[in-house]
């Protein structure tokens, strides 16, 4: 028997890194204000670690849109695999040419392109889709905050988040 409602449990789990950052911050501040000495110096290190963890935790929480969507995403040895009820596919993370977000689908979908492969559509709420955050953040030149703004912004049209070799004129901005 659980004393926490399922909705509250899901909300806490979504923000888990940010909550851990809060606990680390409190521990670091207590070491700074408490005994001092070596623990005081370690307290300042914990405060810095908490700040970095908080930034990462908030970004990850904004990326998570929930689970229970159609299909399952797995990432193994540099390969994204999506197995859905109607389609699926495999994309190598090093070979991704374009990342787009299609909010017109229900649910919204990540659209991944790789040369020589069919375009892969992954629902943002597919099981395991939160692991895509690490893959996307490793794409060279991707602006994480812009990706999160597009994901949570409620755009009406598909938008290109990142592309390796721009297919547009250089004077036209991507975002």
- CB-CB contact of 45 with 134 (8 Å): no
Residue 10 pLDDT > 80? no
Asked: is 72-163 a CATH 2.30.29 domain? The reply is yes
43 CB-contact burial (10 Å; exposed 0-12 / middle 13-18 / buried 19+): buried
Q: What is the pLDDT of residue 69?
A: 79
> What pLDDT was estimated at residue 171?
54
**Digit-coded pLDDT (tens) for 53-69:** 999 998 888 887 777 77
pTM of the model: 0.75
**pLDDT over 70 for what percent of the chain?**
92
List the structure tokens of 31.
């070491």
| pLDDT of the residue at 173 | 59
pLDDT in tens, 72-128: 999 998 899 999 888 889 999 999 999 999 988 888 899 999 998 899 999 988 898
Residue 97: alpha-carbon gap to chain centroid: 19
- Residues 68, 126: contact at Cβ < 8 Å? no
Interval 148-158: pLDDT, tens: 888 887 777 88
């Amino acid at each position: 028997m659980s004393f926490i409602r399922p909705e509250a449990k899901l909300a806490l789990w979504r923000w888990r890194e940010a909550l851990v950052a809060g606990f680390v911050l409190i521990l670091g501040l207590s070491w700074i204000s408490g005994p001092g000495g070596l623990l005081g110096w370690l307290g300042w290190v914990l405060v810095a670690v908490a700040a970095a963890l908080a930034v990462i935790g908030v970004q990850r929480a904004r990326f998570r849109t929930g689970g229970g969507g159609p299909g399952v995403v797995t990432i193994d040895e540099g390969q994204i695999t999506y197995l859905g009820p109607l389609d699926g596919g495999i994309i190598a993370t090093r070979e991704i040419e374009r990342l787009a977000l299609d909010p017109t689908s229900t649910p919204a979908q990540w659209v991944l392109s790789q040369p020589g492969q069919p375009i892969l559509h992954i629902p943002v709420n597919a099981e395991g889709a939160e692991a895509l955050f690490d893959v996307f953040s490793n794409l060279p030149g991707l602006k994480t905050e812009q990706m999160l703004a597009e994901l949570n912004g409620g755009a009406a049209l598909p938008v290109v988040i990142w592309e390796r070799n721009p297919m547009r004129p250089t004077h036209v901005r991507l975002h």
